[in-house]
Amino acid sequence: MNKYVYAFEEGNASMRSLLGGKGANLAEMTGLGLPVPPGFTVSTDACNRYYANDGVVEDAVFEQVFDALTALENKTGKKFGDAKNPLLVSVRSGAAISMPGMMDTILNLGLNDATAEGLAEATGNARFAYDTYRRFIQMFSNVVMELKMSQFEEALAAAREKDGAKVDSELTADTLKEVVENYKDIYRAQTGQPFPQTPRQQLAAAVEAVFRSWNNPRANIYRRLNGIPSSLGTAVNVQSMVFGNMGDDCGTGVAFTRSPSTGENKLFGEYLMNAQGEDVVAGIRTPQTIETLGENMPEVLKQLHDVAYKLERHFGDMQDIEFTIERGKLYMLQTRNGKRTATAALQIAVDLVKEGLATREEALLKIDAKQLNDVLHPTFDPEVIKAATPIAMGLPASPGAASGMLYFSAQEAEEAAAEGKDVILARTETSPEDIQGMSCSRGILTIRGGMTSHAAVVARGMGRCCITGCNDAFIDPEEKVLRTSEGREFHEGDYLSLDGSTGRVYGEKLPTVPAAITGNFETILGWADECRTLGVRANADTPVDAQTARKFGAEGIGLCRTEHMFFNSDRIISVRRMIVADNEKQRKAALAELLPMQKSDFRALYISMEGRPVTIRLLDPPLHEFLPHDGEEIEALAEVMGISAETLHNKVTSLHETNPMLGHRGCRLAVTFPEIPRMQVTAIMEAAIEVQKEFGYQITPEIMIPLVGETKELAFVKNIAVQTAEAVIEEQGLRIPYKIGTMIEVPRACLIADQIATEAEFFSFGTNDLTQMSFGFSRDDAGKFLPDYYEFKIFEKDPFATVDVDGVGKLIAMAADQGKKSRPDLKLGICGEHGGDPESIEFCHKVGLTYVSCSAFRVPIARLAAAQAAIKNKK
């Protein structure tokens, strides 16, 4: 028979996946000889079988639970349901990965009318016994039976009124006895059943409730947001009760072994005397700080310090502990690695190494790479934000905090910014034409779009704070007003504040705190650079991007999207002339206007990167993206261009595509309009040669051909690029090396990567498009069904945020492998959104890529994540 139940003595910290984090650590503490009340853990395996079995707990599970209970009775000398000396237990959930949202805790289980009376007698404290009983009924009703709490609260309030009591602890034993009777009536009224008087029945129901809570909506959402597979399941911990509410020599508390906000090495926590666990959380009485415990119980505080020290030595990390004091004796109820701010995480990691508690490699693994975002962007003052009320909520699309005046169009935003105003740009959704306006704004808010919408991607690239998908609000761009679902209105120029890390929108001006990049941060990234084997480059389209990227330690530019330069107001007109051109001659004339501009862009990039590699992608988006689409804008533009509105309108129509994502873009543009790559390669090469002559940097431009799906297609465009590059070299009289490679972003390219590698000197995986094409859905359209996919757990992770290892990952691995077979020195990179995601970075490391490229603001994250990947996979 399978073993589903483990006494604390039987487990240890390594059994996390079977016993959950809480159970494994209770077992570990038991093994360490710390004062842990005895108990046992029902394994995650039992939970998984419950789900496999359509929500039925196997008989074997209950049999083993009751066997363990008998053992617990023997250990404690108490008996479950015994009126004289009743055994009471707590029941808590505990998954392998700590996870809020599930059923948390039921205390005092085992109480019924008889054992409550027995408890009163045994302790000589009827008030304590009935207070404990009413707490149990309330918790059981709430978390096991999911009854509404309002009637229970009303009954308690009535009791307080009757006794003239301000707080519950002032209620008398008799009143509490009445409360218990009222509670049982409420329970019967709501469930149609009497409150269960059999402790074993209570226990069985509680165990099943924990299993059930694994699958509630809050837990599901949490798992999805954090990429936790639902197949892990939760364990259930059953532990004999100790009581913090037995009198004034009793209490309960929580503590961190170091400061979770700064990392300072000092016990940090709070406690309540004469209370049970939930009182600390409930906030009815204000807990005291841990230092004051020394005044009442210096011995206990000393013991707590000792335990904390021992646990830190043992686990090699800052611990978050729960304890109860029963009649002056300390009991440990939980320990786990403590959550911490990014600042604290850096401080603790550095300190642990100094104190010899961890090696550098171990310390690096203790930092959540994603969390570094918090120290890379400004934040709101935490004190101020506590008092502020959001007016709307959207998706936290790009982290950071920003306050500014509201504008509804990119142009107005640009103008206001030029006047020195702090600007918040609010749009229903953004398009490539808005890029200038976005870059002038402090923050961007969009009503539509998800975490990978245009606004989100561009804002992250720029390090601008951004909130997308803010369905709580509506924008009327004509009236220039933003209306919230609660009816508030904000007009042009009104102040708005955005917290891109939480998705909260505030209707007022709020002070921000600038990003603090402390010495610890530098230390940690220094260690990371020593450990990692994966290169880290940045996606950077402008000299400003490139400078930011360098500041954050990028080793080169992995993706420069040349088209982003096309939207600048001084060049869009030439771009449009090129598009509207009727013939090659007109097109060449327009391209000749663009050449010096592109060249000066590239010069600035090369200069910023001081000779480090710069990968420049040839024009990628479909041409219609550069033209206006609505009638008035077309008319205005036609006038500027000196052509008829009809001609321009016809051009716009002729460029219309049914599926732009699958249309005339990428290298397909280079095949049909070879003048475009000729101009771009000329600019790339002339700029490189000039900068090399002027500054002496040894530059090797990397020319990247996008959207290749066929070898001959790459060869065709490569041939244009080589001819152009050679012509420039000849003309300039200086030979510099250059590389020609391709984006791998079309599934077919992965399938024929061995062929493609015969032509390409490097691959850069464009995982955004590769994900869209492999799954067969575009991120612009998937918003209509993905919410249901998450709800039904068809997807548990966002494939646009983290590489889909099973599908897209298989293509990447295949392409990397086949590509290297054809060309052993093939450079392999990734430049999709995934390049800045720690989990995806680990995949990139495993699959043998040369570097990842991500937005400048993610470079530090990528450096740390790359180090973590190297450390984890060394073993």
Binding site for a copy of itself (CB under 8 A): 657-664, 668, 671-672, 707, 709-710, 712-713, 716, 745-748, 751-752, 755, 769, 772-778, 780-782, 784-785, 788-789, 792-795, 804, 806-808, 810-811
Q: Which tokens sit at 176? A: 């509490």
CA distance 419 to 120: 75
Question: Which candidate in 831, 834, 844, 845 is catalytic?
Answer: 831
Q: Which tokens sit at 376? A: 């890379």
Beta strand 268-273 with 251-256: parallel, antiparallel or unpaired? antiparallel
Q: Which tokens sit at 341? A: 């701010």
Burial state string for 175-213 with b = 16 or more CB within 10 A and e = fewer than 16: bbbbbbebbbebbeeeeeeebbeebeebbbbbbbbbbbb
Dihedral, CA of residue 865, residue 866, residue 872 and residue 875, to nearest 10: -170
Of 145 and 813, which CB lies nearer to a copy of itself in the complex structure? 813
Of 307 and 707, which CB lies nearer to a copy of itself in the complex structure? 707
Q: Which tokens sit at 237? A: 């911990």
Q: Do residues 375 and 516 make contact, with C-beta atoms less than 8 angstroms apart? A: yes
Q: Write down the least CB distance from residue 780 to a copy of itself, Å.
A: 4
Q: Which segments of 552-640 are extended strands (E)?
A: 557-561, 614-617
Q: Write down the least CB distance from residue 758 to a copy of itself, Å.
A: 13
Q: Is 831 in the active site?
A: yes
Element (DSSP H or E) covering residue 814: helix 808-822
Concatenate the DSSP letters of all residues of 655-698 into one string.
H--SSGGGSS-THHHHHH-THHHHHHHHHHHHHHHHHHHHH---
Q: Is 337 helix (H, G, I), strand (E, B) or coil?
A: strand
Q: Is 839 helix (H, G, I), strand (E, B) or coil?
A: helix
Q: Write down the least CB distance from residue 809 to a copy of itself, Å.
A: 9
CA distance 293 to 307: 15
Of 589 and 662, which CB lies nearer to a copy of itself in the complex structure? 662
Q: Which tokens sit at 12? A: 């240890």
Q: Write down the least CB distance from residue 623 to a copy of itself, Å.
A: 10
SS (H, E, C) 260-295: CCCCCCCCEEEEEECCCHHHHHHCCCCCEEHHHHHH
Of 327 and 712, which CB lies nearer to a copy of itself in the complex structure? 712
Q: Write down the least CB distance from residue 615 to a copy of itself, Å.
A: 21
Q: Do residues 750 and 771 make contact, with C-beta atoms less than 8 angstroms apart? A: no
Tell me what percent of the chain is helix, strand and coil, each rounded to the nearest 5: 50, 15, 35
Beta strand 495-499 with 390-393: parallel, antiparallel or unpaired? unpaired
Of 304 and 627, which CB lies nearer to a copy of itself in the complex structure? 627
Q: Write down the least CB distance from residue 599 to a copy of itself, Å.
A: 28
Q: Do residues 446 and 464 make contact, with C-beta atoms less than 8 angstroms apart? A: no
Q: Write down the least CB distance from residue 819 to a copy of itself, Å.
A: 15
* Number of C-beta neighbours around residue 765 at 10 A: 30
CA distance 836 to 373: 11
Using alpha carbons only, give the angle 271, 277, 281 rounded to the nearest 5 degrees. 75
Q: Do residues 313 and 352 make contact, with C-beta atoms less than 8 angstroms apart? A: no
Using alpha carbons only, give the angle 11, 15, 16 rounded to the nearest 5 degrees. 120
Of 165 and 813, which CB lies nearer to a copy of itself in the complex structure? 813
Q: How far is CA 379 from the centre of its chain?
A: 17
Q: Write down the least CB distance from residue 554 to a copy of itself, Å.
A: 29
Q: Which tokens sit at 557? A: 């530019």
Instruction: Give the residue among 514, 469, 509, 515 at the shortest CA–CA distance from 388.
Output: 509
Q: Write down the least CB distance from residue 762 to a copy of itself, Å.
A: 20
Q: Write down the least CB distance from residue 629 to a copy of itself, Å.
A: 13
Q: Write down the least CB distance from residue 712 to a copy of itself, Å.
A: 5
Dihedral, CA of residue 488, residue 491, residue 494 and residue 497, to nearest 10: 60
CA distance 111 to 203: 11
Q: Do residues 93 and 104 make contact, with C-beta atoms less than 8 angstroms apart? A: yes
Q: Is 454 in the active site?
A: yes
Of 434 and 804, which CB lies nearer to a copy of itself in the complex structure? 804
Backbone angles phi, psi at 431, to 5 degrees: -135, 170
Of 686 and 713, which CB lies nearer to a copy of itself in the complex structure? 713
Of 552 and 763, which CB lies nearer to a copy of itself in the complex structure? 763
Burial of 642 from C-beta contacts in 10 A (0-12 / 13-18 / 19+): exposed
Q: How far is CA 425 from CA 17, 414, 442, 568, in A?
A: 46, 9, 8, 17
Of 464 and 668, which CB lies nearer to a copy of itself in the complex structure? 668
Of 282 and 794, which CB lies nearer to a copy of itself in the complex structure? 794
Q: Write down the least CB distance from residue 632 to a copy of itself, Å.
A: 19
Burial state string for 229-264 with b = 16 or more CB within 10 A and e = fewer than 16: eeebbbbbbbbbbbbbbbbeebbbbbbbbbbbeebe
CA distance 127 to 129: 5
Q: Write down the least CB distance from residue 653 to a copy of itself, Å.
A: 12
Amino acid at 718: K
CA distance 148 to 607: 66
Of 8 and 777, which CB lies nearer to a copy of itself in the complex structure? 777
Of 185 and 796, which CB lies nearer to a copy of itself in the complex structure? 796
Question: Which candidate in 47, 377, 454, 750 is catalytic?
Answer: 454
Residues noted as catalytic: 454, 831
